[in-house]
Amino acid sequence: MVSARVGQGAVLGAIALSLLAVPARAATAEPDTPRGASLAAPDTAGVAAALKSSVDAGAPGAMALIDDHGTTYKVARGLADRGTRRALTTDDRFRIGSVTKTFSAVVLLQLADERRLALDAPVNHYLPKLLPDDRITVRQVLGHRSGLYDYTNDMFADSVAGFEAVRNKVFTYRQLVELSLKKPRTNAPGAAYSYSNTNFVIAGMLIEKLTGQSVRTAYEDRIFKPLKLRDTFYVHPETTIPGRYAHGYLTPDTAGEPLVDATIQTVSWAQSAGAIISSARDLDTFYSALLSGRLMSAARLAEMERFSAVNATTAYGLGLRRRALSCGVFVYGHTGIVQGYSTYAFATKDGSRSVAAVADTSNNGEVASAMGGVLESAFCGASKSAKGLGPASGELLHEG
């Protein structure tokens, strides 16, 4: 299915105040298009080809929704449900995995705007004695520079057995942090980027401590309701997805074994690091609002967008990725991998063009690489061939 329609509507909600200093190794901001060039029109045929490649590589279905200055392009291939053979559509809800991290970072940056949080303060200032090192700051946590070990490396060493062991389990935040602290740290605080779900479990703890609310209430009051995100939910520890949704299928580690329907789960192993449910439309709305400055002050957004290099094509700010595409365009957003779903949600620097795409399988490198081609076609246009870029460095295929 390929279609386009013109849509309108203002997005509400902004929180404004002031900002703090910049970390020593932060990178400078980059333009979102090559100098002197305009953004090419989306190549929907290229997007469709990338989605077909994802299905050919083992995803039951894949879809993408592009919003370009209010004009939307919808492309979908394959199935939302292997049992009923229902086709996947761009209206289906799904688990967004680590795209949740941007939502968590937004709440904390809003709290910084309200002078209830200092980014360069130690985490232990707000959560006394949680961590063994008082040097670990809130900024380092949000930028994956804390050095805290990612407990999911051990939890999902065997993708299917690990998942089944936690599918219905409910963890506390402290239990997850304790799993991390059993292992040595990956580096000294601030010394290097090292992706870790532990960081955004701590982000959830900070949200609840500083607001006196659950993360669900904080997300709803500060993001979901102001932006009128009708398909976006935080249901933890409930296991189901409300309304119409795509089933998610986990690819086993052993080639040839059948896919595992992973849709029903608590996602308690991730929580504020990866448990939000959403839709392509809502993710486009969210990133457009964020990058156009409607969710926090300009100074805070500038903090979020101070990036440190991860590799030749990706960099990380505060809960936000930047990716360089083959045509010289920089796009901003996050990838999300949770059992059964592989999500890409990115937008231009000004939020005027946004793309949300998902394949309803995970733990499949070929699918993840093919889905990277959606970004190339959506932002670079027909002049560039769709190139699979794979998952962002440091984000494992089995985790949120």
By residue count, the chain amounts to 400
Q: Name the region of 348 (left: φ>0; alpha: ψ -120 to 50; beta: rest).
A: beta
> Do 85 and 79 touch, CB atoms closer than 8 A?
yes
Alpha carbons within 13 A on the beta-carbon side of 266: 14
Would you state the structure tokens that stand for residue 238, as one six-digit string?
């409930």
Of the candidates 53, 98, 196, 288, the residue annotated as catalytic is: 98
> H-type helices in the chain, by residue range?
44-56, 100-113, 123-126, 138-142, 152-155, 159-166, 173-181, 197-211, 215-219, 280-291, 298-304, 365-375
Residues 6+ apart with CB under 8 A from 10: none
| Helix, strand, or coil (residue 199) | helix
Distance CA 339, CA 95 (A): 9
Give the integer Cα–Cα distance in Å for 26 and 119. Answer: 14
**β-pairing verdict for 361-362 and 249-250:** parallel
324's tokens: 């360089």
Helices (H), 43-89: 44-56
Give the bridge partners for 74, in sequence order.
3, 65
362: annotated active-site residue: no
Q: What is the CA radius of gyration of the chain?
A: 19
Q: Which residue has the tokens 């970390």?
A: 23
Q: Which residues are catalytic?
A: 98
